[in-house]
Structure 1
Amino acid sequence: MLWNTSRLLAVATLCAAGAAAAQDAYPSRPLRIVIGFPPGGAADTIARIYGDALAKELKQTVLIDNRPGAGTTIAADFAAKSPPDGYTLYIGGASLMGGDNALYKKLRYTPADFMPVTQLTTAPLLLVAGKTAGIRNVAELLQKARQQPGSLNYSSSGNGVITHLAGVHFAKLAGVTMTHVPYKGGAQSAQAVAAGDAQVSFATPASVQPMIDAGKAVPLAVTSARRSPVMPNYPTIAEAGVPGYSLSNWYGLFAPAGTPQPVVDRLFAASARVLADPTLQKQLAGRGEEAAPSRSQAEFKAFAAHEGKLDVELIAQSGAKID
């Protein structure tokens, strides 16, 4: 049967109207937020605080899906291949925007497979030492590292992630040699310091704070260029003895490429509202994180691309490669 032009236009109009109606109703079922770390670390903590608030804002259940391993690439690959309908989202950082591809040879995704939605948080890393390491400040760390090159272990939450690259950056600027010991997440990395398996760590505040509170880890300095407003009593690494050192960690919300723009707009607006809530900001601050919503999706897209480029440069400095 032949269809005339008017009937085709009518069908197209109905389809478009149906798609628009579906987007207007978004979300109509539970959402899933995927992260590449196990429970207990900074990404998990942020995801749960943000997810609880987003669930109330959107009036839908928000599930946190922990998929640790391979430096977050298992989780990122899953998110990249998920339907672009706004129901599977990803919380990640600079590595997603180029670092993963610089580090791993056989990834099945690139930055183009993701749509940046908004930045969620920012925070310096916290340089800490284990209680039994006999290191009370950055000067003592530098002294030990210079007297015994390679004998100090620093733990991280994985090869090529920011907690690893922070150590690479530190060693290069300070002119010291330390041994990198990667773990599968921030909680395990912090536990290694507490147990004495690693002497120091460049850790996310959320992952290492329990060890500090328990007296098993000693905070030495923050990695940002300026003192953190949520941790004002800690000196910066630059002022404590390594001039020029500056590195901060951030997390953002990403959707699979091809997610309808009205859905992305809904997520952006909802995120802006929950991140402006003083209660949520206080929850994040208690874990060393600062709410940092983007002013627009375009701003976050540009920021994420810039940070991704810096991440690639640090990976090149580290010489790290994973097959």
Structure 2
Amino acid sequence: MSRAALDKRALVLGLGAALGVAVVGSDAVRARDAYPSRSIMLIVPYPAGGANDMLGRLIGQKLSDRLRQQVIVDNRPGAGTLLGASQAARAAPDGYTLFVGGFASNAVSPHLFKADYHPIDDFAPIGLFGTAPTMLITYNESPYKTVKDVVDAARARPGDLTYGSSGNGSPLHIAGASFCLQNKLSMIHVPYKGGSAHILDLIGKRLDVIFDTSTNAAALIRGGKVRPLAVSSPQRLPDFPDVPSFAESGYPNFSVNGWYALYAPAKTPQPIIDKLSAELQVVLKAPDVIERLRSVGVTPASGREDELMAYARSEYAKYRDLIRDAAIKAN
């Protein structure tokens, strides 16, 4: 083949490649701009009425307003969040099924139960929308006024002090086990079968403490039902300025936080993920959303995809190690 023919062939191939890139690029733009063209289902792996459901509905409604399409919340509780997570992971990766994931579904439950999905590989992260720290609470007449009081009593009377939870493998159990492991304490874990029985027993002085989520503890504290001793956030919560952090109480390594995130099934087109993440970031800057999240003890996050990706990987590894080291078993 002559040099002229080679040059002509190279030119044709180059133009073809450029045209191909342009077509792919224009397809991606069209996919982003056309989405969504119908309603979106948002799977929440919890029953209606709880904090996770409320947060999912809040974010869903705000996204619906932004996207101009209905976002329908579909509550799919069961199997420690694995039921809803599994259904979301198996859904078509077209942006019309989203998932409210977090602490249980994407960090803890897959280590406690047999999951038929991978919490990292089978989801496309859209954005983290909030974190909820752990609050150590006790009954109002308790002799414990600080975290140190609890630690000193636990060391003086090993196996005597109790901490309650909503069940084996629950966030409350994980938090208590983490604190005991870090500080080499022997405390008795008292699991309940969900509901509020553990709270009633704390108020009734039948438990010593609970490592509760801020989404639940906030209302109890505001109502004067319990005494807060510390919170696991880096700084004091704005709504509870009198409650010290664990760090300033002398326990800087304790950090167990609930978290709430928006996911899509893996292989959802990147332009759709980008659009959803951008809209979520706008939603999380709205003053009414910030106020609503803070009112239930949730600190708003950025809504960025990269933040969620890094955070979820870290949490998954962290609780894998904790559950192994503390020999935690589910119900």
- The question of 1:129 aligning with 2:133 is answered no
Would you say the 8 A contact 2:93–2:267 is kept in 1?
yes
Would you say the 8 A contact 1:71–1:158 is kept in 2?
no
- The question of 1:62 aligning with 2:71 is answered yes
One-letter identity of the residue aligned with 1:318: A
* More moved, 27-36 vs 144-153: 144-153
State how far apart, in whole Å, the 2-side matches of 1:188 and 1:25 are.
Answer: 49
State the SS of the aligned residue for 1:302: helix
Q: In structure 2, which of residues 58, 61, 72 is the aligned counterpart of residue 52 of structure 1?
A: 61
Q: In structure 1, which of residues 74, 99, 105 is the aligned counterpart of residue 83 of structure 2?
A: 74
Q: 1:138 to 1:59 in 2, by over 3 A?
A: same
State how far apart, in whole Å, the 2-side matches of 1:21 and 1:78 are.
Answer: 28
Structure-2 residue corresponding to 1:306: 314
State the SS of the aligned residue for 1:124: strand
Unaligned runs of 5+ in 1: 1-13
State how far apart, in whole Å, the 1-side matches of 2:284 and 2:200 are.
Answer: 30
Q: How far off is 1:196 after superposition?
A: 5.2
State the SS of the aligned residue for 1:145: helix
State the SS of the aligned residue for 2:121: helix
- The question of 1:171 aligning with 2:180 is answered yes
Q: 1:115 to 1:214 in 2, by over 3 A?
A: same
One-letter identity of the residue aligned with 2:283: V
- 1:147-192 deviation line (CA, Å, top 9, x unaligned): 5433443233554354322111211233322233445668665455
Matches within 5 A, 1:261-272: 261-272=270-281
Structure-2 residue corresponding to 1:276: 285
One-letter identity of the residue aligned with 1:218: R
State how far apart, in whole Å, the 2-side matches of 1:259 and 1:252 are.
Answer: 16
State how far apart, in whole Å, the 2-side matches of 1:233 and 1:120 are.
Answer: 26
Q: How far off is 1:113 after superposition?
A: 1.0
State the SS of the aligned residue for 2:323: helix
Q: How far off is 1:319 after superposition?
A: 1.0
State the SS of the aligned residue for 2:124: strand
Q: How far off is 1:322 after superposition?
A: 4.2
Q: How far off is 1:261 after superposition?
A: 1.7
Q: In structure 1, which of residues 103, 115, 134 is the aligned counterpart of residue 124 of structure 2?
A: 115
One-letter identity of the residue aligned with 2:322: L
User: What is the aligned residue count?
Assistant: 309
- The question of 1:320 aligning with 2:328 is answered yes
One-letter identity of the residue aligned with 2:248: E
Relative to the length of structure 1, the TM-score reads 0.81
Matches within 5 A, 1:170-249: 170-182=179-191, 190=199, 193-194=202-203, 198-242=207-251, 244-249=253-258
One-letter identity of the residue aligned with 1:81: R
One-letter identity of the residue aligned with 2:308: F
Q: 1:98 to 1:245 in 2, by over 3 A?
A: closer
Q: In structure 1, which of residues 16, 33, 38 is the aligned counterpart of residue 42 of structure 2?
A: 33
Would you say the 8 A contact 2:98–2:265 is kept in 1?
yes
Unaligned runs of 5+ in 2: 1-22
RMSD across aligned positions (CA) = 3.2
Q: How far off is 1:249 after superposition?
A: 3.0
One-letter identity of the residue aligned with 1:75: G
Structure-1 residue corresponding to 2:162: 153
Structure-1 residue corresponding to 2:94: 85
Q: How far off is 1:31 after superposition?
A: 2.4
State the SS of the aligned residue for 1:119: strand
State how far apart, in whole Å, the 1-side matches of 2:41 and 2:201 are.
Answer: 30
One-letter identity of the residue aligned with 2:227: V
Q: How far off is 1:132 after superposition?
A: 5.9
Q: 1:98 to 1:250 in 2, by over 3 A?
A: closer
* More moved, 64-73 vs 51-60: 64-73
State how far apart, in whole Å, the 2-side matches of 1:209 and 1:319 are.
Answer: 30
Q: 1:199 to 1:46 in 2, by over 3 A?
A: farther
- 1:112-155 deviation line (CA, Å, top 9, x unaligned): 11111111112321111234655443233234434543344323
One-letter identity of the residue aligned with 2:173: H
One-letter identity of the residue aligned with 2:158: P
State how far apart, in whole Å, the 1-side matches of 2:97 and 2:166 are.
Answer: 24
Would you say the 8 A contact 1:40–1:187 is kept in 2?
no
State the SS of the aligned residue for 1:320: coil
Would you say the 8 A contact 1:137–1:220 is kept in 2?
yes
Would you say the 8 A contact 2:89–2:265 is kept in 1?
yes
Q: 1:227 to 1:86 in 2, by over 3 A?
A: same
